Amino acid sequence: MKDFDVAAVVTGGASGLGEATTRALAARGAAVTILDLQADRGEALAAELGGHTTFVRTDVTDEESVQAGIADATGKDRPLRIAVNCAGIGWAARTLGRDGSPHELAPFTRTVMVNLVGTFNVLRLAAAAMARTEPGADGERGVVVNTASIAAYDGQIGQIAYAASKGGIVGLTLPAARDLSSVGVRVCTIAPGLVDTPLLAGLPEEARTSLAAGIPFPRRLGRPEDFAELALAIVEHGYLNGEVVRMDAALRMAPR
Ligand SMILES: NC(=O)c1ccc[n+]([C@@H]2O[C@H](COP(=O)([O-])OP(=O)(O)OC[C@H]3O[C@@H](n4cnc5c(N)ncnc54)[C@H](O)[C@@H]3O)[C@@H](O)[C@H]2O)c1
């Protein structure tokens, strides 16, 4: 396999799907900048991977913060060509609680801010940096891979905020690809099913087992490495653009 002689940014790159992607990109020679809120994990991972991997503590919802992260990547000795958006948060509450009280507005706004607005913030700033690079084969300057969720399609009871935020990412994928076609930047989105990461580890073992039992095949939770492999495949496949790929072992989530 050929090496990625490019710079890359991975948001949420200190944990779970982002960490696996950081590791996979670094293993292929990319100079990765990890953008994450978790400084301890991010710094430890950058130190472990060494070489050209760096960590910049970043809040994806904040313009200056992301600009600083992108500046780290563009300051490296090779062009920024890869941005993978994995930063995200979960939230569970129903539109109306059992006692009839409405969903609080603040957590809905927060979830959309981090997952959707944060993704767009990184997408636009990374694309602006990629647009300033010299094009490679086929006129391509870079690729952005976003992370939605199958909750964008099969949102369960209590997933209203999360599903709305992920639905927004699905919705922006094609117009982003169209907007950025003039500068040769591709945009794709992965919609993972249930992947065994710290986000899911918060659930009791019983809940995790029952979740896995509902997955058609392979009958197991996804691994972060499954996601990283797909992200790299999208990066390498120059004709994939404007597409959302479900990675869920044929899981379709029930209402609850
Ligand atoms: N694990 C799953 O089953 C699953 C399924 C579908 C989608 N996803 C999505 O995949 C993405 C990664 O999830 P994960 O399971 O690896 O979770 P995770 O909690 O392990 O990692 C998420 C990372 O994002 C970082 N982050 C959160 N808010 C941030 C912010 N404002 N700025 C910068 N970084 C921030 C966290 O610090 C964390 O390191 C999320 O968008 C999640 O919604 C996960």
pLDDT number for residue 39 = 98
How far apart are the C-alpha atoms of 247 and 153, rounded to whole Å?
A: 13
- Annotated active-site residue 239? The verdict is no
User: Is 6 within 8 Å of 26 (Cβ atoms)?
Assistant: no
User: Is 185 within 8 Å of 242 (Cβ atoms)?
Assistant: no
Question: Position 123: which residue type?
Answer: L
Which residue's CA is the nearest one to ligand 1's atom 35? Answer: 87
Q: Ligand 1 pocket, 83 CB below 6 A?
A: no
Q: Ligand 1 pocket, 58 CB below 6 A?
A: yes
pLDDT tens digits in sequence order for the chain, 256 residues long: 568 999 999 999 999 999 999 999 999 999 999 999 999 999 999 999 998 999 999 999 999 999 999 999 999 999 999 999 999 999 999 999 999 999 999 999 999 999 999 999 999 999 999 999 999 989 999 999 999 999 999 999 999 999 999 999 999 999 999 999 999 999 999 999 999 998 777 777 887 887 788 999 999 999 999 999 999 999 999 999 999 999 999 999 999 8
- Ordered by where they begin, the domains of the chain are 7-196+223-246 (3.40.50.720)
Which residue's CA is the nearest one to ligand 1's atom 36? Answer: 12
User: Is 77 within 8 Å of 133 (Cβ atoms)?
Assistant: no
Please state the pTM of the whole predicted model: 0.97
Gap from CA of 169 to ligand 1 centroid (Å) = 14
Q: Ligand 1 pocket, 16 CB below 6 A?
A: yes
User: Is 9 within 8 Å of 192 (Cβ atoms)?
Assistant: no
| Burial (CB count <10 Å: 0-12, 13-18, 19+), residue 134 | exposed
